[in-house]
Structures are given as C-alpha cells and as structure tokens.
Amino acid sequence: MFIEPRVITGSGIARRGWIEVVCGSMFSGKTEELIRRLNRAKIARQRVEIFKPALDTRYHAEDVVSHNQNSIRSTPVPVAQEMLLLAAGCDVIGVDEAQFFDESLVEVCVQLANRGTRVIVAGLDMDFQGQPFGPMPALMAVAEFVTKVHAICVCCGELATYSFRVTASEDKILLGETDAYEARCRVCFQEGMKEKHPESTAEKVART
C-alpha cells in the first residue's frame, strides 16, 4: 500500500509539490486508490479538486465514479490546460482517466507540481491492444511515485495487467462499455489476441 511521503505540504518549509501516478488495467482499482488518497488529504483539511477529461461521460457528468460506487465530485475539463486556472488555490489535485488527455497533460502536471501542488494522476497504462496509452508513459517518467495496481485475470485467476476487449471494435476509445472488457494476465491476453487475429499473429511469428 502506498503511504504518502507527507499529506500536508509546506509546514514551515517552502510549499513543495510532486506527482504520483496510479496506473493499471481496467478493474484494477485505480480510481478507488485515487479516491482513497484524496479522502486522506481531505481529512487533513487539504483543498482537493478532481478533474477528468470531458469526454468521459460514464455514469455522472460531475462525479469521478469508480466501479464500486465510491465516488467523489469532479470537474470535467475539455483540455488539460484548463486545470492550471481551475487548480489555483488547491493543495491536491486528482486527475482520473488521464489516458484520454493528450500529451499536454504532462506539462500541465509538471507546472502544477512545480508551483507546489500535489498531483495524483490515475489512468490506464495500456490500451486494449497492449500498447502504452496516451500521456501515461511520459507521466510515469516525470512522476516521483508510480503505483501499478493489478486486477485478477478472469480466465485463470493470476494477476492481470491487460484490458482485453471482448468485442470486435477497433476504436481506441469505447466509452461506458465496461462489459466490453476483461482483465487478463499476459498469457490469457495473448491467447485472446491470437483468437481474434489469427493471420496477423501468424505473420508476426513468421517474421521472428
């Protein structure tokens, strides 16, 4: 379990910010972990604000809602830069579904941390094809703390790090479709991808 280096910044010393990343597959409890950290900051009377990309319209427009209904109010923003203004006066900001922002999120998080804000970013580290997702890899590089949380593979019960898409759609973003995904381990993810794309996998194997 992640224990904060400190919850309250700047008692006596200059206010310090930093970046935390919570990443993992679908059903890994990323949002629950984000909410846990933000609730602890709230108990410490920190000013907390949560943002998410405006395109994530699952459940309620203004709540970060995790799959276990443990929710915190949040502000949808169309672009990451808006957070720079909206986060003024905040001690801690949370960003949920960070993978859906573009690369400018990285610079925004760095600027917020540089001006003394604790920034906690949660998002999918890989897309449904097992590729690094949006700004997440760069965020992990600039973060002080990275936590990878795991789901459980629905096929074999091992730890799962992949989000396997059950449907045939090839769109990178399928919103509000949690039924369309399964958490899978490396082996079961590969088996699923082979079943979905028998030819392309055969070609890859032939090349190696």
Edge-to-edge order in the sheet of strand 145-149: 75-77, 48-53, 92-95, 118-124, 18-24, 145-149
Contacts to Zn ion from residues 140-159, by CB under 5 A: 153, 155-156, 158
Q: Known binder of ligand: residue 59? A: no
Please report how close the Cβ of residue 184 comes to Zn ion at its closest, in angstroms: 6
- The annotation status of 38 as a binding-site residue, yes or no, is no
Minimum CB distance to Zn ion, residue 150 (Å): 12
How far is residue 46's CA from residue 101's CA, in Å, rounded to a whole number?
A: 25
Residue 2 is encoded by which pair of tokens? 């992640």
DSSP H helical ranges for 76-197: 82-86, 104-114, 136-142, 186-196
Catalytic residue at 97?
yes
Nearer residue to Zn ion within complex by CB, 110 or 159: 159
> What residues contact residue 90 under an 8 Å CB cut-off, 6+ apart?
47, 48, 49, 117
Is 28 assigned to a binding site?
yes
165 Cβ neighbours under 8 A, 6+ residues apart: 128, 174, 180, 181
**Catalytic residue chosen out of the listed positions 20, 33, 49, 97:** 97
Q: Give least dist CB 7 to Zn ion, A.
A: 37
**Interacting residues with Zn ion between 154 and 193 (CB under 5 A):** 155-156, 158, 185, 188
Q: Return d(Cα 77, Cα 52) in angstroms, integer.
A: 6
Q: Looking at beta carbons only, is 156 or 175 nearer to Zn ion?
A: 156
Are 49 and 86 within 8 A, CB to CB? yes
Compute CA distances 207 → 129, 197, 200, 201, 202, whole Å. 19, 16, 11, 10, 9
If the CB atoms of residues 84 and 155 are measured against Zn ion, the closer one turns out to be 155
- If the CB atoms of residues 64 and 185 are measured against Zn ion, the closer one turns out to be 185
Consult the annotation and say whether 90 binds a ligand: no
Q: Is 176 annotated as a binding residue?
A: yes
> What does the per-residue mask of binding to Zn ion show for 48-67, with x meaning CB under 5 A?
--------------------
Q: How far is the CB of 161 from Zn ion (least distance, A)?
A: 10
Annotated binding site for substrate: 173-176, 181
Chain contacts with Zn ion (rule: CB under 5 A): 153, 155-156, 158, 185, 188
Residues forming the active site: 97
Binding-site residues for Zn(2+): 153, 156, 185, 188
